[in-house]
């Protein structure tokens, strides 16, 4: 059973059309939730870390939020350069490695 589930698998938006990506996790004891951006042919690039329910982080057109069982990555007025795969990862208790979701492929059309 997947511990980290991202939805949708793919999302196509018009430039300026705001939307949200979802990351849900099924195991208790969350120590941190991480959002990454990955461009084709490159390694994941860190965006945000969230540690507790109610926490929010923002960077340019992106805003990440966290509840007790899911996180959202809100994209406001996206531009074509926001097109990428967005990955969510969680760390559970102790020094356990990050567990990644399968990602959401975002395409923003001009």
Q: Which is nearer to another protein, 65 or 91 (CB)?
A: 91
User: In b/e form, how buried is each residue of 70-84, taking b as 16+ CB within 10 angstroms?
Assistant: bbbbebeebeeebbb
Q: Is 1 in the site for another protein (CB under 8 A)?
A: no
Smallest separation, CB 109 to another protein (Å): 21
From 100, 106, 107, 108, residue interacting with another protein (rule: CB under 8 A): 100
Q: Which is nearer to another protein, 36 or 72 (CB)?
A: 36
């Amino acid at each position: 059973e997947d511990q980290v589930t991202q939805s949708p698998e793919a999302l196509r938006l018009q430039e300026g059309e705001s939307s949200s990506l979802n990351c849900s996790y099924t195991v208790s004891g969350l120590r941190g939730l991480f959002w990454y951006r990955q461009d084709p042919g490159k390694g994941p690039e860190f965006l945000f870390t969230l540690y507790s329910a109610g926490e929010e982080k923002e960077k340019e057109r992106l805003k990440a939020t966290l509840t007790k069982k899911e996180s959202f990555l809100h994209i406001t007025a996206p531009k074509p350069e926001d097109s990428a795969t967005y990955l969510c990862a969680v760390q559970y208790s102790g020094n356990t490695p990050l567990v990644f979701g399968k990602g959401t492929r975002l395409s923003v059309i001009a």
